[in-house]
Amino acid sequence: MTSYIFPPAPQAAVPVRGSPQQYAVSRIFCVGRNYAAHAREMGFDPDREPPFYFNKTPIDLVPSGATVPYPLGSQNYHYEMELVIALGQPAFRVAPEQAQACVWGYACGLDMTRRDLQIKSREMGRPWDFGKDFEQSAVISELVPASAIGHPTRGAIQLSVNGQLRQNADLKDLIWSVPEIVANLSHYYHLQPGDLIYTGTPEGVGAVQPGDHITGRIDGVGEIALTIGQPE
Ligand code: MN
């Protein structure tokens, strides 16, 4: 048996609705600017340029319903409501027509963002990691298997802060669809079961403060909630 210098970190995992089994996570990919109106609000012209990605670390995962402290080093902390894909089959150089069969299920996700740090690095041509890949930045609901809900291609995706609707869009407005994203990524990675993909947020992103309560929902997928606590 392998002996370690210090105990390994616990396996990152996501609960599955109606099941005692959890989904073990190995990687988290995130799509940038995948709704036209959000691309415009961030100061870009939406187009059909190939999608681009950034990553979060699995230890960033936090379950729906949690309270997270206002993050370190930021004064502009934003929510981004997103559909999350969970892979269930390896995908390597697949076509969009084959990609859907590799998807195990879906969840609601919040791509929490230190917007000030993201924009500063973007302007300096530096990586986005400080703005995107930080502790408790990947909020996720229970996963639901595609065998139960199918593969959602339309339906409302919404987010409210303290009961006030802030994001209200439709999954049909994704620039790159679920099968297209999986197919595209599969030309750059050997995608595996355990890989999550946050598919991008619609328009209406904005800042939250300590004490705020976020709720989100996606038709046919589920609901998600997060409370913002005081900074540590
Ligand atoms: Mn995002």
Max Cα distance, the chain (Å): 55
Q: How many angstroms does the Cα of residue 9 sit away from the middle of ligand 1?
A: 26
Question: Is pLDDT at 162 greater than 80 in this prediction?
Answer: yes
Neighbours of 157 (CB within 10 A): 27
Question: Is pLDDT at 95 greater than 80 in this prediction?
Answer: yes
Question: Is pLDDT at 47 greater than 80 in this prediction?
Answer: no
For the chain, the domains span 13-229
Q: How many angstroms does the Cα of residue 82 sit away from the middle of ligand 1?
A: 7
Pairing of strands 195-198, 27-31: parallel
Q: How many angstroms does the Cα of residue 111 sit away from the middle of ligand 1?
A: 5
pLDDT band at 175 (very low <50, low <70, confident <90, very high): very high
**Taking the model in full, what pTM does it have?**
0.97
Query: Cβ distance 106 to 86 under 8 Å?
Result: yes
Query: Cβ distance 139 to 110 under 8 Å?
Result: yes
Q: Please report the DSSP string for 88-123 in residue order.
A: -S-BSS--HHHHGGGEEEEEEEEE-EEHHHHHHHHH
Instruction: Using a pLDDT cut of 90, give the percent of the chain over it.
Output: 93
Q: How many angstroms does the Cα of residue 231 sit away from the middle of ligand 1?
A: 22
Q: How many angstroms does the Cα of residue 36 sit away from the middle of ligand 1?
A: 13
**Average of per-residue pLDDT values in the chain:** 96
Question: Is pLDDT at 43 greater than 90 in this prediction?
Answer: no
Q: What CATH number does the domain located at 13-229 have?
A: 3.90.850.10
pLDDT in tens, 183-203: 999 999 999 999 999 999 999
